[in-house]
Amino acid sequence: MSGFQFFTILLVEDHMEIRTLLASILRSLGVGNVLRAANGAEAMQILRDTKKDPARAGAAGIDAIISDWVMQPVDGAMLLRWVRRHKESPNRFMPFLMLSAFSDKERVSFARDLGVNEFLSKPFAADSVATHLITAITDNRRYVKMGPYFGPDRRRREDMSDDEKRNLEKSDKEKGVRFYDPPTDLRRKIGPDAGFDLQAIMSAQKELDSFSEDFIDWTTAAIDKLQREVELARMSDEGMRRQIFDRINLIAHELRGQGGIFGYPVITTISTSLFELTLHNLDRSNECVKLIRDHSMTLKAVVREGARGDGGRIGRELVKELSRASLRFMESGDRARLVNPEFQDMLKRNIRDAGGFDPVDVIMKQDKTKPQEIL
């Protein structure tokens, strides 16, 4: 076993269950000390305390940070910016692994421009957590100070020729770019054979799998919350729905990141559709509220049927009908311009990949008095 038993990692995640899960994974991998924070503000206070009051912080120093992106009141991006730039930061070179269900190129590029070392997308498995953590800690790129940016060199130089490297160095010096070699203490701490053995990774994956039994309870609670928000939206005027839709979008964001982690990618698919539908909050019409309600009822049907994996015939057909409804909604009233084209492509794939099963009976189980309409 390498020196990870001497490591302290700060884990920042607003969802308590995911925070608990990640802490269990890190302990199974052999990490000695895991500090937890529910948002960036709490994390900043812990980081300050490691310098001023180590007993209160629970550690004399922190070796690396794993942080979710979407949190309130301080998100992961703001925390990363603070670590890299603020005078109170205990270590501006600290390895930082960003965790998020957002994995689009723009978001990854934005994190890179803030100085992140690694980006881990939800859903994740234990081995991906281990791999990204090792990569972040052993990252030996020089740090760059150029204008407001401070962080790892964003240009991967290993693929450059010697002449290209020399020309780049000369150009950088002319532009006033300053380089700093990162400290080597972390690499010395974990030893020359940095990594986690197979048994540790298998133990961590077993820990992750054990949380799957609780996932349905978490998801059921989230769907109940979603349906309360939908009913509130139905009773509200269109002009009063902005905050309601924002809350719905946040619920969808959490569900889409968790489904794949616990073996329910069909929940991730449906939640991604709901997330994209409400992302920019540009259409708050009654038709949109009805489509959101269809998403919530479909999620409830999937959970009730215990549709793991892609959901089988029932799950695939439910996703297909929901995708058809979403496409029809976007094609009416020129709404297609309000959403990501990749989202529309995803809906078309859902329809193409599904079989020929009729889901009406499944949806009707939601309400014994009347069938639930799918547009």
**Structural domain boundaries in the chain:** 3-140+182-209, 211-364
What is the tens place of the pLDDT at every residue in 27-50? 988 898 999 999 999 999 999 998
- Report the range out of 54-63, 122-131, 211-220, 269-278 with the highest average pLDDT: 269-278
CATH number belonging to domain 3-140+182-209:
3.40.50.2300
Q: How confident is the model at residue 373 (pLDDT cuts 50, 70, 90)?
A: very low
Contact yes or no for 292/230 (Cβ under 8 A): yes
What is the tens place of the pLDDT at every residue in 237-272? 988 999 999 999 989 988 888 887 877 888 989 999
Q: Is the pLDDT assigned to residue 2 strictly greater than 90? A: no
> Which of 48-62, 133-147, 204-218, 251-265 bottoms out in mean pLDDT, i.e. has the lowest?
204-218
Task: Map 286-310 to HEC letters.
Answer: HHHHHHHHHHHHHHHHHHHHCCCCC
Q: What values do phi and psi take at 36, rounded to 5?
A: -125, 145
Q: Is the pLDDT assigned to residue 1 strictly greater than 50? A: no
How far is the C-alpha of 218 from the C-alpha of 195, rounded, in Å?
33
What's the whole-number mean pLDDT along residues 280-303? 89
Q: How confident is the model at residue 5 (pLDDT cuts 50, 70, 90)?
A: confident
Q: Is the pLDDT assigned to residue 158 strictly greater than 60? A: no
- Region at 287 (left for phi over 0; alpha for psi -120 to 50; beta for the rest): alpha
Q: Which residue has the tokens 């940070």?
A: 65
Q: Where are the beta strands (DSSP E) in 247-360?
A: none
Residue 13: its H or E element: none
Half-sphere exposure in the Cβ direction for 335 (13 Å, CA): 21
Residue 346's pLDDT is: 82
Query: Residue 324: which of 312, 316, 313, 333 has the closest Cα?
Result: 316
Rg of the chain in Å (alpha carbons)? 23
What is the tens place of the pLDDT at every residue in 60-82? 789 999 999 988 899 999 999 99
> Which of 243-252, 301-310, 366-375 bottoms out in mean pLDDT, i.e. has the lowest?
366-375
| 137-166 burial code (b ≥16 CB/10 A, e <16) | bebebebbeeeeebbbbeeeeeeeeeeeee
Q: How confident is the model at residue 11 (pLDDT cuts 50, 70, 90)?
A: very high
Mean of per-residue pLDDT scores for the chain: 82
- Report the range out of 231-240, 250-259, 364-373 with the highest average pLDDT: 231-240
How far is the C-alpha of 114 from the C-alpha of 94, rounded, in Å?
13
Bridge partners (DSSP) listed for residue 11: 36, 66
Angle between helices 242-259 and 286-305 (to 10 degrees): 30
What's the whole-number mean pLDDT along residues 347-356? 74
